[in-house]
Amino acid sequence: MPNWKMTDQINQKDANQDQQIALLTHRIEDAEKTQEELRDRVRKLEKWVWSAAAVLSAAITIIGIATAADAKEINYGSNDTAKQEVLLQLQSHGD
């Protein structure tokens, strides 16, 4: 009889360990699935961020060019008449 009892205990322990292994395997599979879903979400967010950065960069460039064009008139080979500037010299009190 003692051998049967020991065999039953060993079988029970094996069954418990098999159950724990199955549970842990399932948990690992769930964690891997969750990890893959999170990676996909991060990739999607990265695409959105890169797209938004590209749009902002383009907008800033266009605004910068427009502002620079307004601030500085480019007048190459103009046919305007020459402008005469008057230079005023103030007399000093010592003269």
| Backbone region of residue 3 per phi and psi (left: phi > 0; alpha: psi in -120 to 50; beta: other values) | alpha
CA-nearest of 52, 55, 73 to 63 is 55
Q: pLDDT category, 85, cuts 50, 70, 90?
A: low
Distance CA 69, CA 18 (A): 76
CA-nearest of 23, 54, 78 to 46 is 54
Counting other chains too, the contacts that 32-40 makes at CB distance below 8 Å and 24 or more residues apart are: none
pLDDT value of residue 43: 97
pLDDT value of residue 51: 96
pLDDT value of residue 33: 97
pLDDT value of residue 87: 63
pLDDT in tens, 26-84: 999 999 999 999 999 999 999 999 999 999 999 999 999 888 877 765 555 555 655 65
